[in-house]
Amino acid sequence: MPVDLAAIRDAHERIRPHINRTPVLTSSRLNTASGASLFFKCENFQKIGAFKARGATNAVFALDEASAERGVATHSSGNHGTALARAAKLRGIQAHIVMPSNSAKVKVRAVESYGAHIVFCEPTDGARQSACADVIAKTGATLIHSFENENVIAGQGTAAIELLEDADVDLVVCPVGGGGLLSGNAVAAKSIRPKIKVIAVEPANADDAAQSFRAGRLIYTDKKFTIADGLRTNIGAPTFAIIERYVDDIVTVSEEAIIAAMRAIWETMKIIIEPSAAVPYAAIRERKIDVGGRRVGIILTGGNVDLDVLPWIQPKKD
């Protein structure tokens, strides 16, 4: 199944009963500050608090009965694991989630709350992949990768369908990590409105997508620390092929800009977003994207934040 508009529309129909149709919000203050009309697609109000619910739900409900009976598996320390656990529970099948041993307790509890079977492993990419392969060999479960899966990509693209139904925009700005959200939304947006522009944003400390885009080939990087931890993943080969075809540009932003953008949205729009979700607006604040006079759709990817560790609050000294 190619990831095209038909597949994304099919995904939208399939997942509609199981997800939220999230609102598109605006802010006159942020419009004035940017010199543009900004339309925020608020996936922080999505099930499990992030857009990942779309792709995981589509992938689970697209399985044939025989495959579904054997369950699903993935490796994830974040939102994808929770989203897959939830989708599996909705369909009444088993989910096996491989998580690093140092995963945040709140994330472990979220996966457990949906009845998934958790397998802990060492906190390395190799250990995660090996443990997941072992689970699949023992159970026959279907691997649902967080972004290298066509049904996941198609599910993520449903956010752009809703955005374009609710707002007349000529530019879509989206964060990029592994590339599932970006590639799905780029296909949807360009297919519905061929003249629309799609620009991706990632942290300067995790700039493999930008480097790859400039070079015209995949470049994997060792990631430095970034507060936008959801975007530390290297982009995948399947998603990069789509991005090369459909995305107009990829820009990067500083850690300081991400924090400032996150705080500006919290204070101005009165909504909670996570650092990864602030990355697109950070590019607008840093003037990395020319948005003057344009109508800009911004994907706010999620709102899962540890409220005890906010980036603008300094820890107390003894």
Mean pLDDT across 3-23: 98
- In which band, very low, low, confident or very high, does the pLDDT at 309 lie, cut at 50, 70 and 90? confident
User: Which residues, 6 or more positions from 240, have their beta carbon under 8 angstroms from its beta carbon?
Assistant: 179, 209, 212, 218
pLDDT of residue 104: 79
pLDDT beyond 60 at 53: yes
- In which band, very low, low, confident or very high, does the pLDDT at 223 lie, cut at 50, 70 and 90? confident
Specify the 3-state DSSP secondary structure of 252.
strand
pLDDT beyond 90 at 255: yes
- Distance between CA 297 and CA 280 in Å, rounded? 10
pLDDT beyond 90 at 103: no
Backbone phi, psi, residue 106, to 5°: -65, -35
- Look at the pTM and tell me if it is higher than 0.85: yes
Mean pLDDT across 82-96: 98
Q: What is the pLDDT of the chain when averaged over all its residues?
A: 95
Nearest to 61, CA basis, from 129, 10, 113: 10
pLDDT of residue 246: 98
Residue 40, number of CB atoms within 10 A of its CB: 27
Nearest to 299, CA basis, from 184, 155, 174: 174
- Distance between CA 63 and CA 66 in Å, rounded? 8
Cα-trace Rg, the chain: 19
Compute the half-sphere exposure of residue 30: CA atoms within 13 Å on the CB side of its CA.
26
DSSP string, 119-184: EEE-SSHHHHHHHHHHHHHHH-PEE--SSS-HHHHHHHTHHHHHHHHH---SEEEEE-SSSHHHHH
pLDDT per residue over 163-201, tens digit each?
Answer: 999 999 999 999 999 999 999 999 999 999 999 999 999
